[in-house]
A and B are shown apart, each in its own frame.
Chain A
Amino acid sequence: MSGRKLPNWLTEVSKPARYTGGELNAVQKDSTRMDLRFALAFPDVYEIAMSHLGIKILYEILNDLEWVWAERVFAPWPDMAERMAKETVPLYGLESGDPVAAFDVIGFTLQYELSYSNILYMLDLAGIPLQAAQRSEKDPLIIAGGPCTYNPEPLADFLDAVVLGEGEEVIVEIAELLRKLKQAGAPRREKLAALAGLPGVYVPSFYQVEYAAADQTLSFVRPVKPGIPERITKRIVQNYEAAPFPVCPPVPFIDIVQDRIALEIQRGCTRGCRFCQAGMVYRPVRERSPEKIKQLMDANICSTGYAEITLSSLSSADHSCIAELAADSIAQYGASGVTISLPSLRADAFSVALAEKMESSGRKSSLTFAPEAGTQRLRDVINKGVREEDLIDAVESATAAGWRSFKLYFMIGLPTETEEDLEAIGALARIVLSKARAAVSAAGAKGKNSVVTVTVSASTFVPKANTPFQWRPQDPIATIRQKQDLLRRVVRGRGIDFQWHDPETSFLEAVFARGDRRLGAVLEKAWRSGCKFDGWNEYFDFDLWQRAFAECGIDPTFYANRQRDYQEVLPWNHLSAGVDRSYLISEDQKAGQAALTEDCRTGECLGCGVCQTLDTQPSISKAVDTP
């Protein structure tokens, strides 16, 4: 808060502290002394945005440079957006209160496809032209990063540049480059050309796409001029252990979704689940050393005062030093009331023992496992290395340790799925329930403490770019409905609860996850007709989306429900996560045979190509003896 006056009407919008800035550790600088103004944008509401680690990492890296001021900007909830329009307040940076339209760069993070309409919503609130081609010299550069950039094509019309991969190093290169060009008075076009010269940076307007008249698939994507790379490969940090990690992040006053310190203990995952985009695009796996983790923990507790730390990663129980790490941190902080937690649990007894250590002083809430599929065959198809006996083991040890409530996550619509696989979900839930009940009575628990509940949650499979299933169709909405009906019939009984989601949101997600540039028109039309906050039930309006598709003459099932062949030019063919296409194909073919692929942490190199492409290697703290 650089002494700016906050309007009284803020009390009339919901949760005004979303819009005031001025949190502990929020960075204040003198705007007159800055060479570059940067906005880190998250296209969702404050409580979601502030739970995101990536923004905090980049915020600290940029603000450590004395000549750049990085501020945060998030999507105002619609009540606030209306009020801002009424008061003619444009979208502003939370730190300075200055309009972001006057900044040099706005960097959006693309975490999920259903946030795309909010990018247009925010650009509009900021008063910035939506289309990159319409922006003038005075407008900021709009760039994007995050997992959805492995296919950013539906957003190509709206983005000036896209960063593939890890942002820690490239963001500094971008800032330095833009500072130099700004001082030299370079025009926008020159800035874009210079950005396109940075490894990992993609400038969509420098590429031409053409579609085949016959089947509407892509004919080619290619650079429009010499000197522009034909293929862009993601960036990774040179040395993960030494990579900057926030030690002084802003601490919200209001309760947010992840209201704790998220300490990233490892990046990447070696499990190789074939549906999982994160598992493919964040390769190779790299661990932080226990010494470094402890040092970061200390620094974060001192700077934030949070009472909870989560040891975060895609699969934290896989960290080679996780047991010592958990024991040491509990010993060090437990007495002062600080709790340590894991974000998700692998379905095995080892993970449950870990969770027990962490929650031993606390009340046992519920435990979540993700078998993903009901039968062993289908789990082998997706390469989810969970066996029924592992899950039962996990449930039995958890029950003995005092847990009574279990959540099982499944996906429906997976490749090769049959009715048998779906019925097996019901059977698995019943087995878990009966094993847990047996363990409860063996422990002699009585009354309320003997009641076991199993919640089955079934989400809809969304095939993603740069995964082995990128060629596979998503089940049509009607099929998903039938499958949900079937599940409602088989996942039932006392102690069993079933949760599902509307298939329409997963369908829209699938359309945009593998869409091409033609979807830009649909997105703009949908936003103009009122679409925003599509990830929120209260705002998602499928009818508006269907109308937008129809008015643009685009069939969304072409993107969501069509089987592609391996020869097809995919919209993201020119964008690489480092994993070879040949590896993705071989994984897809192995899926067809329900053949497993080993974990590269324990087995030999699988030849996914990431280490060769990026000239790197996995980094594991110590040799592993547990599976």
Chain B
Amino acid sequence: MTTLNTANAVGAGDAATVTATATANTFHILRLRLQKKEHGRFISHLDLMRAFERTVRRLQLPVALTEGFHPHYRISFGPALPLGASSSAEYCDLILTARPEQSALLEKIGRHLPPGLSLIDGSYIDNGQSLSDFIMRASYRVRLAIGDFATAEELIALGKRILESEQFPIETETRKGLRTIDLRSGIDQAQWAVSGEELICDLFLAAGSANNLKPQDALIPFIRKGAAPNELHRAGLYGKSGQNWADPFGNVLLKWPEVKIEGE
């Protein structure tokens, strides 16, 4: 990932700098970036959250509890990932009641995560937005097996056609039945390259609460042409830092795509 080392860019720009949950001196937000790999990619988002809560309990980390009959840890995660996808961009925020020394704390968490998950990075966030307010984009790298129905060139042409259109409505099956979504509005940028029998797609998609396009939905037109995803990887999550895109630690994204699959 190309980064700009800007210490003052944390959490980003002109947005509200204090979340309601993090009032001065009481709580400390620790933001973590986790990796999902190997069998970790078969862990659902909900199961990942539970596994992480259990890690917190095992380590007896000073994470704040919610009030009420069934108190639970105040931990929030970024957007969900489809089952089977690997990721080097699973972010979460821990609301802590104390402020243990950062590097020792990160080392401890990293050592005790369940297999399939690992810690890439982490930092206290002293003023910044919550993950859900901040995140607006996600980047993915997809390796598509080129099927028998279309050539690589035809698939690339299809991709270009999507990008050049004003709107690209497709029907997708949801739990509530068929729904029509506009792919174009969810695709910020995309890029294709052929590698052997595979088409490598880099996607920069809308993510988060305002607009969200699931990567598996973005691929529907290709899958309908016989392509099959061999691998789906989330490389990053981004929000705005002034005029630029930045990751949740505030590192500004200088150029896109710059997908690096960690640990591989």
Contacts and interface: CB of A to CB of B under 8 A. Distances in A.
Interface of A: 1, 3, 6, 8, 10-11, 16-17, 20-24, 26, 251, 253-255, 301-307, 336-338, 361-363
Interface residues of B, number: 31
Interface stretch (B52-60, B125-133, B153-161): B52-60
Contacts of A24: 51, 54, 114-115
Interface stretch (B14-22, B36-44, B183-191): B36-44
A24 B116 CA distance: 9
CB-CB nearest 9 A-B residue pairs: A305-B54, A11-B84, A20-B39, A305-B58, A305-B57, A24-B114, A22-B39, A16-B42, A253-B47
A302 B58 contact: yes
B65 interface: yes
B71 interface: yes
B58 A253 contact: no
Contacts of A3: 38
B42 A17 contact: yes
Contacts of B230: 8
B84 A253 contact: no
Contacts of B38: 1, 3, 6, 22
16 contacts: A1-B116, A6-B38, A8-B229, A10-B84, A16-B83, A17-B47, A20-B39, A22-B38, A22-B40, A24-B54, A251-B51, A302-B58, A303-B58, A306-B54, A307-B54, A338-B57
B94 to A, nearest CB: 14
Contacts of A26: 115
Contacts of B40: 22
B70 to A, nearest CB: 6
A10 B39 CA distance: 10
Nearest to A10: B42
A253 B57 CA distance: 15
Contacts of A8: 84, 229-231
A10 B54 CA distance: 25
A101 to B, nearest CB: 22
Contacts of A301: 57-58
Interface of B: 38-40, 42-44, 47-48, 50-51, 53-58, 60, 65, 69-73, 83-84, 114-116, 229-231
Residue among A17, A22, A253, A301 having the largest count of chain B Cβ atoms under 10 Å: A253
Given A11-B83, A304-B54, A305-B56, A21 B39 contact: yes
A305 B55 contact: yes
Contact of A363 (B44, B70, B83, B229): B70
B47 A362 contact: no
A362 B43 contact: no
A304 B58 contact: yes
Contacts of A1: 38-39, 115-116
Contacts of B53: 305, 307
Contacts of A21: 39
Given A253-B47, A307-B57, 14 more contacts: A1-B116, A6-B38, A8-B84, A8-B229, A22-B40, A22-B116, A253-B50, A255-B50, A305-B58, A336-B57, A337-B57, A337-B65, A337-B70, A363-B70
A361 B70 CA distance: 8
A232 B70 CA distance: 50
A253 B70 contact: no
Contact of A6 (B39, B44, B115): B39
Given A6-B42, A11-B83, A253 B69 contact: no
Contacts of B65: 337
B259 to A, nearest CB: 19
A306 B115 CA distance: 17
A306 B55 CA distance: 9
Contacts of A11: 42, 83-84
Nearest to A26: B115
A361 B65 CA distance: 14
Contacts of B73: 337
A10 B44 CA distance: 13
Contacts of A16: 42, 83-84
Contact of B47 (A255, A303, A306, A361): A255
A362 B56 contact: no
A302 B58 CA distance: 5
A1 B114 CA distance: 12
A254 B47 contact: yes
A565 to B, nearest CB: 55
A361 B38 CA distance: 40
Contacts of A338: 57
A253 B43 CA distance: 7
A552 B62 CA distance: 65
A299 to B, nearest CB: 11
Given A1-B38, A16-B42, A17-B43, A253 B83 contact: no
